[in-house]
Chain A
């Protein structure tokens, strides 16, 4: 197990190196025109141009630029400074991370508590009315784009309630949990449900599918044959192995979202990593783009490793070579 984790971690580092390299290559080699001018933006001053050239060693060949960037990151944890407001990228990311984390983790709790029970209900009575209802919910949820659902939520629960005098939900923004937990919940409830409904669909689908498959296995028939109650068969014997794919999906989804729930943050004006990244892309704020892409990639890589480990622990058939 230890060797497996070390090997996975090493491969994770390789992935991060490739991703950082790809982003670097994208902006420094692939992008056309004068790099310093591009990064400098519209309100460019000669001083800033010089500063950017010096900071990114733009006069040197691209590989040594990359090397210097990586060296600074590894040795000092330094991701550089934002072009637009001169703040360190690291502190911007740490500033915005709590909003993203609150959104992703809260939504995950909701979509699990929606998706898994719906999946179980559907699987225990396949082809029944409730199975059909679950299917409609799942396919509807799968088909509705996040930003559409978000805007509909805003229209119904923010705008319609507000014009009818119930100004309960704030339309946008984020309130830190540490300052005011109630405000935190009020600000996050619509984004949570938006994200959760869209995701719960695939969770109910996967739970249903894998539980149905497991319930068709011989050992379940054996469990039934020896007279266990249907409840016990499903919850003790079936669900355990049926939930393995759910764990896989959960790890990857949460990992991806922690690196920035771009669309949801954008719709609800939540100042998280995702919104910061989109702003940076629009402003051409290169250090922030680098920082957020790497930050997001770290979560995805770590999530993948955790999923593999969880998989091995849940499923006795998987042996880590």
Chain B
């Protein structure tokens, strides 16, 4: 993935010709969180539609980038895949077996294969425990190694992720943010999983440290043949690490495709808006480009809009967008791997900042609204 290892990079990225087997398949995943009220008897008064019908495939050895604004459901989707929340509807299959809503006991063997790296390097490590026992947890929980053997393995892991194995007995508070994230990586790596779900693993880190952690993840992928689901709201990071990208908005996938296709020819108006907000280092080019400013805020997932969830803010919205959610499928001349859920996808060369919607969007708030640059640069 990095420029330092171009051969591997291209081989990994070229999904059309050299795709691995499907490792993870998510179909129609839905997660609604009930909002309850009442003192003794609680009744459900509303639901948060966090994930609302997601289909997803991850092939072994690749990195799938999952992008979207805060609150679009990408972290919930990650937790559904990791089996941390029961699903409202849909199925998840891993390596050919259905792991949807498995009981704790039945899920255990799969947990060895699916691991997570968390966003907050301060919150994801128990401050009361020594690093050695945190990294050794997977061995302990799955009864893999004990005593001296466990210690040896933990120290090997620390070496692998670039920590000093001598720091075995230290507490998380004695490490920097980047080092703590390495601890989290070591813990995720302990059981040699097949799939690692990285939930915004670098969002909380300084930019210079982000690069180190990303390069570490990249090296580990090559060394251990890992598959990643990489969640981020920083489009540059996602572009850098991913083979394929999926864009989420209000619990639904809006567009998905190989990274170069999606960044080169974004078809969904929302993807266009996101990408137009990425800063361009060249001031001349930056000036010539029109930034797409979206109307209003992201609607509440408690009452998501009908039809396409993006219609209240979309510059190309028409009546049909209010009524019908478009299917996720290839548009124009796109290859089958590049799919877009839009009634009016953006053809090459169209400037959607010039478009005017065909429906009344006055309910969505003033035009000033959301400037996506804060979201997409991860600041």
Asked if A and B touch directly (CB within 8 angstroms), the answer is: yes
Question: Which residues on A are within 8 Å of B, measured CB to CB?
Answer: 7, 11, 321
Nearest CB in chain A: distance from B35 CB, A: 10
Q: Are B37 and A11 in contact (CB under 8 A)?
A: no
Q: Which 5 A-B pairs have the closest CB atoms?
A: A321-B37, A7-B39, A11-B39, A11-B40, A321-B38
5 chain-A/chain-B pairs, Cβ below 8 angstroms = A7-B39, A11-B39, A11-B40, A321-B37, A321-B38
- Give Cα A7–Cα B39 distance, bound, in whole angstroms: 8
Cβ-closest chain A residue relative to B45: A321
Contacts of A11 on B, CB cut-off 8 Å? 39-40
Contacts of A7 on B, CB cut-off 8 Å? 39
Cβ-closest chain B residue relative to A321: B37
- Give Cα A7–Cα B43 distance, bound, in whole angstroms: 14
**Per-residue CB proximity of B28-43 to A under 8 Å, as 1/0?**
0000000001111000
**Per-residue CB proximity of B300-320 to A under 8 Å, as 1/0?**
000000000000000000000
Contacts of B37 on A, CB cut-off 8 Å? 321
Cβ-closest chain A residue relative to B40: A11
Contacts of B39 on A, CB cut-off 8 Å? 7, 11
- Give Cα A321–Cα B36 distance, bound, in whole angstroms: 9
Nearest CB in chain B: distance from A309 CB, A: 15
- Give Cα A11–Cα B39 distance, bound, in whole angstroms: 9
Contacts of B40 on A, CB cut-off 8 Å? 11
Nearest CB in chain A: distance from B40 CB, A: 7
List residues 195-244 of chain B with CB under 8 A from any CB of chain A.
none
Nearest CB in chain A: distance from B42 CB, A: 10
Nearest CB in chain B: distance from A16 CB, A: 16
Nearest CB in chain A: distance from B361 CB, A: 31
Nearest CB in chain A: distance from B349 CB, A: 48
Nearest CB in chain B: distance from A88 CB, A: 36
- Give Cα A11–Cα B38 distance, bound, in whole angstroms: 12
- Give Cα A321–Cα B42 distance, bound, in whole angstroms: 11
Contacts of A321 on B, CB cut-off 8 Å? 37-38
Nearest CB in chain B: distance from A308 CB, A: 11
- Give Cα A7–Cα B40 distance, bound, in whole angstroms: 9
- Give Cα A50–Cα B40 distance, bound, in whole angstroms: 44
- Give Cα A321–Cα B37 distance, bound, in whole angstroms: 6
- Give Cα A321–Cα B45 distance, bound, in whole angstroms: 11
Nearest CB in chain B: distance from A9 CB, A: 11
List residues 36-62 of chain B with CB under 8 A from any CB of chain A.
37-40
- Give Cα A11–Cα B41 distance, bound, in whole angstroms: 12
Cβ-closest chain A residue relative to B37: A321
- Give Cα A7–Cα B37 distance, bound, in whole angstroms: 12
Nearest CB in chain B: distance from A43 CB, A: 48
- Give Cα A321–Cα B43 distance, bound, in whole angstroms: 12
Nearest CB in chain B: distance from A1 CB, A: 14
Cβ-closest chain B residue relative to A8: B39
List residues 1-52 of chain B with CB under 8 A from any CB of chain A.
37-40
Nearest CB in chain B: distance from A286 CB, A: 32
- Give Cα A244–Cα B39 distance, bound, in whole angstroms: 23
Nearest CB in chain B: distance from A59 CB, A: 37
Nearest CB in chain B: distance from A4 CB, A: 9
Cβ-closest chain A residue relative to B39: A7
Cβ-closest chain A residue relative to B42: A321
Nearest CB in chain A: distance from B27 CB, A: 36
- Give Cα A11–Cα B37 distance, bound, in whole angstroms: 15
Nearest CB in chain A: distance from B46 CB, A: 12
Nearest CB in chain A: distance from B262 CB, A: 41
Nearest CB in chain B: distance from A311 CB, A: 15
- Give Cα A11–Cα B40 distance, bound, in whole angstroms: 9
Nearest CB in chain A: distance from B302 CB, A: 15
**Per-residue CB proximity of B235-259 to A under 8 Å, as 1/0?**
0000000000000000000000000
Nearest CB in chain B: distance from A321 CB, A: 5
- Give Cα A272–Cα B83 distance, bound, in whole angstroms: 62
**Per-residue CB proximity of B60-104 to A under 8 Å, as 1/0?**
000000000000000000000000000000000000000000000
- Give Cα A178–Cα B301 distance, bound, in whole angstroms: 64
- Give Cα A321–Cα B39 distance, bound, in whole angstroms: 9
